[in-house]
Amino acid sequence: MLAERPGENTTLGLIATNARLTKAQARKIAEMAHDGFARAIVPAHTMNDGDTIFAIGTGSFTGAGANVTTIGSLGAEVMADALLRAVREATGLPNYPSLRDLTRQ
């Protein structure tokens, strides 16, 4: 069995939207999306991890300006969902079992 090493993992994420974003808006969306990490990873935001989320906007949406609050809120939801899906779908490596490799007792 693997020894537990809490706080020594890094998770990277990306929130992409078709809205046009300023640098400040992209930063705020990435900050808000970090809540998705806290919903799916325990412990999250430790002193030893390098968790990072990037946000980008393609600018292809030609409607009214971007609603940063809505995009950031939805970003947190989809980030949490994506993390859980990744854990459920991952396959293990030798000496590194995945969730699907573990049996219930």
Residue 1's pLDDT band, with cuts at 50, 70 and 90, is very low
Residue 7 lies in a domain: no
Per residue in 12-69, pLDDT (tens digit) is 999 999 999 999 999 999 999 999 999 999 888 888 888 999 999 998 987 787 899 9
Residue 104 lies in a domain: no
- β partners of residue 13: 53
Helices (H) and strands (E) in the chain — how many of each? 2, 2
Q: What is the pLDDT of residue 104?
A: 60
Predicted TM-score of the model (pTM)? 0.82
User: Where residue 64 sits, what CATH number does that domain have?
Assistant: 3.30.2330.10
**Distance in angstroms (rounded) separating the CA atoms of residues 104 and 52:** 32
Number of domains present in the structure of the chain: 1
